[in-house]
Chains A and B, each alone.
Chain A
Amino acid sequence: MKKNILALLFLFLWPNISHAKIDLVILPTQDSVQLTIYNSADLTLVKETRFLTLKEGFNELQFSWANTLIDPTSLEISSKKKTDVINVRSLKYPPKIKNVGLWNIHSRISGQVPVEISYLTSGLSWRAFYSGTLTPDEKEMSLKGYVLVTNNSGEDYANAQVRLIVGQVHLVDQISSLALRSAPYSTPYQAKTDSNSIHAFQNGRALDYGDYSDVTASRSFKKYRRKAKAVLKEGLSEYFLYTIEGRETIPNGWSKRLPSFDVGKVPVVNLYKYEEERYGSQVVRFLSFKNDQDHQLGATPIPGGMLKVFRHVDQEHHLSYEGQSRFKYIPIDEDVELNLGEAGDVVVKPMLINFKTENYLFDRYGNISGWDEVYTYKIAVKNTREVPVKIEIKRNFNVQKWDVQHQGDYGAFEAIDADTIQYTLGMQSQENKEFMYILRVFQGRRGDGG
């Protein structure tokens, strides 16, 4: 077990002489640890409760953290219960000794005082990932959510309460860069160079945040439990706080996978999209649902992560891998569209079948000053799949003045913005559809708006 964080208590014989440090050292035991781990930044708030046996008068508490990634500027000590009993006079970072803080605490009583020591560290992280299994008809999906907590902080955390924060926190400095400064608050002459040393962490332990390889996942271990742990989820400010039931031990270097939720039947829609400017000439498959109660969800937002989608192919529950999609944070009641990649079994083919110009205008010198361009497109849509699908086709024009007319089986039409339109079609299995639209573009004086 690696224990790099130490809290030592020195008792003074003479309260007024600040250098009268004597060799009576008491090592207060750690009573409890709480880890609040963020996923939008490499940041964890650690709170330790310890019982200090204080003398009335001045007490000096040394806190040291060699080989960890603690931000020294975040160190704080406070009385857990009797707030007026102790008074923190100062926190001193002595010269030439790295990673040591010395609190000068004045106590009004003699005896045991529960204190909370809190600090920010980097190196602990978590990410969410998901596994979905579609029914053979692809109308429903069972969805399992997991979180993977990884400890590369340099410190072992035993029997810790683990809490996870979902949300976009704003930081001025990266915690890892604060942890690596030569002086806790840098130096008056070094302020600029220190801020550039973010990537200078030795031992290769610096985290390339947000890019955890699956190697960490394979190292994760699972304890056999009678029952999966519950996760308490609640909103705080713009964040969601997930508190994992009970206590966890996560030694340095280890990862731990914990179940987050398990929903049996989420109704899903097979959605296919076609938009040349965004996806090229391929149709892209999406799986669409909503984070609400109708979809057996909606209790909390869903943290962003990777979803791997499988499908039951037969009665024996054999699986087929459908694809994977990394998705963004999904608020409650928000529609979800999971991009599963290009699909070859649904085809959208636009064809320009006619082009003409008309309504010419001439200026007084006889030169052309305005005209219309008329484009006729035929769009053929094919669903070669065994299941019904929904298809969204977007067309962008990038012209100022236009007019569109449509004919045939075009489904629902919507003007998305000044130069984008969308057709939404519902397709039965093995169904083919065709429709046309005629785009008239007003050029030159024809576009003058009268």
Chain B
Amino acid sequence: MKKNMYLKSVIMLSMFCFLSLSVAEARIKLVALPKRADTIIRLDNPQFTLIEEERVLTLQQGLNKVDFSWNGVSIDPDSIRIDILSHSDQVTLLNVSYPPNENALVWEISSAGAREEKIRVSYLLSNIDRLITYKSVADKAETQVNFKSHLILRNFSGEDFANAKVLLDYGESFEEGIRHEETKQLLFLKAGTVPIEKVWQWDSKKQIWDPEEVDQNVGIPVHYRITNTTDSNLGQNALWNGKMRVFQLDGHGSTILLGEDAVDLTPVGEDMEVYIGDSRDLVVTQRKMVDKQTNIRRNTSGRVVLYDNEEQVTAKIENFKDTNAKLKMVQHIPGEWDMHSCNFEYKKENANTIEFEIDVPAQGKAELVMHYFRRNIRN
């Protein structure tokens, strides 16, 4: 099997020993095929995968040519590097040449003596990469999750790796072989218990104002908020972007799937927001009860040139659940404005966005009333 794997390898490192230095075509004469030793698949850059492979060359005294060629794989030739590891003071890379119409390059290496020399070849290989997935299992009370992450290694590069060290920028490394067209899932991060905050969010720009007017159910998006800090048993590193599936213990020894989301890269100290689904037991009905021009200024022809607009918006929030809910409500008021009255405290997120956190009791209601003037609107 191992032999077979090796034969399938499409990246070749060949060594030629020259009898006569002037014969450039002598590449085909005497070939010693150094075996691939330690290989590292480094996946810390999400766009590019770096392969590092160590091989032992049997060098002759004088000039040696080492041929590196590939077929059926995609290697960025400019990324190919060679490092002399054992005797860097006595072994020198003289030049690199590229044979015509071939996926290959030839290193000319000068050695002070005949010896075995360990080298490391590194290059960027296409179509081998990794994905990160997350799985969280929430408790019944939805206060914490059991948090883990998998590394998905996908090799469609054309090259088989019989054994390699797979590295990310954090987490455990893996000693794994991966064949061409193979996908492998490996457990990569097990954070244990991580506290969560459950947030319902209604945004006046995104959600429908009057659910009665539409035939489908209008849900209110529900998020789990996970903070990437050590207090949360995380916080060692940024959490990569990836797909998260959230399950919940059902109290009968099984689980249900709550939902899944594509989460963004979450640096240390930041929040990861996981959109799991929509609540249909929290209903917001928002209506504009007053919408009229005031303080109208006209030009000499009687045309309205400037006015204020008086608006009163009411949002009725009904909680049909048997637990309290904290609704984050985002309201948008364009242009220049001032609040005349508002029955809830709000935080100004930016010039035109205000945010409320409204507690709605179990099986209860709350009503937000905001009365504001949009000022100096030009006609």
Contacts and interface: CB of A to CB of B under 8 A. Distances in A.
Contacts, number: 177
Given A88-B187, A188-B127, A369-B302, A331 B182 contact: no
Interface stretch (A137-145, A213-221, A378-386, A415-423): A415-423
Nearest to B276: A170
Nearest to B184: A92
A189 to B, nearest CB: 6
B258 A93 contact: no
Contacts of B221: 170
Contacts of B248: 236-237
A96 B181 contact: yes
A36 B247 CA distance: 12
Contacts of B337: none
Interface in B311-327: 318, 320-322
14 contacts: A18-B177, A95-B182, A167-B278, A168-B219, A170-B260, A183-B181, A238-B258, A239-B277, A326-B215, A328-B217, A363-B302, A369-B302, A418-B289, A449-B294
B341 interface: no
Interface in A317-355: 326, 328-329, 331-334
A169 B245 CA distance: 11
A54 interface: no
A170 B176 CA distance: 34
B318 to A, nearest CB: 8
Interface in B158-203: 176-177, 179-187
Contacts of B288: 417-418
Given A187-B127, A328-B216, A92 B276 contact: no
Interface stretch (B55-63, B104-112, B279-287): B279-287
Contacts of A184: 183
Contacts of B283: 331, 334
A90 interface: yes
A331 B302 contact: no
B152 A170 contact: no
Contacts of A168: 217, 219, 277-280
A111 interface: no
A428 B262 CA distance: 57
Interface in B90-132: 126-129, 131
Contact of B215 (A183, A328, A365): A328
A267 to B, nearest CB: 20
Contact of A120 (B138, B181, B250, B257): B257
A187 B127 CA distance: 7
Interface in A165-220: 165, 167-173, 183-189
Interface centre among B126, B177, B255, B287 (most CB of A within 10 A): B255
A400 B293 contact: yes
A259 interface: no
A88 to B, nearest CB: 7
Contacts of A120: 257
Interface centre among A241, A334, A365, A417 (most CB of B within 10 A): A417
A187 B154 contact: yes
A365 B303 CA distance: 13
A90 B176 contact: yes
Interface string A433-446: 00000000000010
B254 interface: yes
A73 B154 contact: no
Interface in B232-268: 243, 245, 248, 250-252, 254-262
Contact of B262 (A172, A239, A331): A172
Interface residues of B, number: 71
Given A95-B182, A169-B259, A363-B302, A238 B222 contact: yes
Contacts of A19: 1-2
Contacts of A92: 182-185
Contacts of B152: 73, 185
A170 B292 contact: no
Contacts of B183: 92-93, 183-185
A6 interface: no
Interface centre among A47, A171, A186, A236 (most CB of B within 10 A): A236
Contact of A167 (B156, B182, B280): B280
B127 A236 contact: no
Contacts of A328: 215-217
B363 interface: yes
B296 interface: yes
Contacts of B179: 94-95
Contacts of B281: 238, 301, 331-332
A184 B281 CA distance: 36
Contact of B138 (A74, A95, A237, A448): A237
Interface string A266-310: 000000000000000000000000000000000001001000000
Interface string B298-316: 0000100000001000000
A208 to B, nearest CB: 17
B275 interface: yes
A241 B280 contact: no
B176 to A, nearest CB: 7
B276 A94 contact: no
B38 interface: no
B295 interface: yes
B291 interface: yes
A99 interface: no
Contacts of B182: 92-95
Contacts of B142: 237
Contacts of A189: 126-127, 156
A12 B165 CA distance: 24
Interface centre among A38, A74, A184, A237 (most CB of B within 10 A): A237
